[in-house]
């Protein structure tokens, strides 16, 4: 995982609330055994019509969306299925951050572990970004700030460990592997008292 410190990009706005992971990547694209190449299936049924043609009015298909790395989405983004294919598809497509007033729990963790920055900002700042699609903004992961079109900025919170994962590119697996002896001690203790607490 590459470290993510600062993202400067135009935004793409997908205003709908409750965008579930079945929309981000429909289940029929989960039959692979790899993590790459899923960008082509991102929002497959919203980007393309029944005949497989791109829908010109879908925000990601507009010419100004090309190359944008920040997705501004509605509330409760990423709800539903735990499929990590959702952040894999978003990052493979080129996104580096999702900005929303609230991001679903499982998706948020999956995002961090793939270097996709989950940015939860307060509703008024979010409304400003919704109203200005394609605006150039900067996300500063270390400072926890998002620059706003009006010249101000909004704060976003990340648990300290998640922030460090993003900044260093070192995921939880490395940390857990270092805890081997503590885990072993716990297991011995647990075996002494059997299964239940």
Partner 1 sequence: MAEKPRTLFDKIWDAHEAVPAGADHPAVIYVDTHLIHEVTSPQAFVLLRERGLRVRRPDRTWATVDHSIPTRFVEGRPAFLNRATRNQVETLERNCEEHGIPLFRMGDPGQGIVHVIGPELGLTQPGRTIVCGDSHTSTHGAFGAWAFGIGTTEVAQVLATQCLLQERPRTLGIEISGRLGAGVSAKDLILGVIRRFGVAAGRGHVIEYRGGAVEALDMEARMTLCNMSIEAGARAGLVAPDETTFEYLEGKEHVPAGDGFAELVVRWSRLPTDEGAAFDRSLSFDAGSLEPMVTWGTNPGMSCGISEAVPAPADAEERAALDYMGIEAGRPLLGRPADVVFIGSCTNARISDLRAAARVLAGRRTNPATQLLVVPGSAKVRRQAEAEGLDEVFRSAGAEWRAPGCSMCIAMNGDRLSPKELAVSTSNRNFEGRQGPGGRTVLASPVTAAASALAGAVADPRPFLQN
CB of 152 to partner 1, least distance (A): 27
- Conformation bin of residue 87: beta by default, left when phi > 0, alpha when psi is -120 to 50: alpha
Nearest Cα neighbor of 163 from 49, 5, 8 is: 5
CB of 170 to partner 1, least distance (A): 12
Instruction: Kindly tell me which of 11 and 100 has the beta carbon lying closer to partner 1.
Output: 100
Nearest Cα neighbor of 89 from 58, 138, 45 is: 45
Tokens of 31: 């039959």
Q: Which residues contact 173 (CB under 8 A, 6 or more apart)?
A: none
Residues that bind partner 1 (CB under 8 A): 16-18, 20, 22-23, 26-28, 30-35, 45, 50, 75-76, 79-84, 102, 104-106, 109-110, 113-114, 159-161, 164, 171-173, 175-177, 179-180, 182-183, 186-187, 190, 194-197
Instruction: Kindly tell me which of 31 and 53 has the beta carbon lying closer to partner 1.
Output: 31
Instruction: Kindly tell me which of 109 and 137 has the beta carbon lying closer to partner 1.
Output: 109
CA distance linking residue 170 with residue 183, whole number of Å: 20
Instruction: Kindly tell me which of 102 and 135 has the beta carbon lying closer to partner 1.
Output: 102
């Amino acid at each position: 995982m590459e470290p993510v410190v600062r993202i400067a990009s135009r935004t793409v706005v997908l205003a709908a609330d409750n965008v579930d992971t079945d929309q981000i990547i429909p289940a029929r694209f989960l039959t692979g055994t790899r993590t790459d190449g899923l960008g082509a299936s991102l929002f497959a049924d919203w980007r393309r019509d029944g005949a497989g043609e791109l829908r010109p009015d879908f925000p990601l298909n507009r010419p100004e969306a090309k190359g944008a790395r920040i997705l501004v989405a509605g509330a409760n983004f990423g709800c539903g299925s735990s499929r990590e294919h959702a952040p894999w598809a978003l990052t493979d497509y080129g996104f580096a951050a999702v900005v929303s007033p609230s991001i679903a729990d499982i998706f948020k963790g999956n995002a961090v572990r793939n270097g996709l920055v989950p940015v939860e900002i307060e509703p008024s700042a979010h409304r400003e970004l919704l109203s200005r699609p394609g605006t150039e903004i900067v996300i500063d992961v270390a400072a926890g700030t998002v620059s706003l079109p009006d010249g101000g900025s909004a704060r976003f919170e990340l648990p300290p460990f998640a922030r460090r994962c993003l900044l260093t590119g070192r995921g939880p697996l490395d940390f857990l592997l270092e805890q081997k002896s503590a885990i072993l001690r716990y297991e011995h203790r647990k075996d002494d008292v059997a299964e239940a607490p």
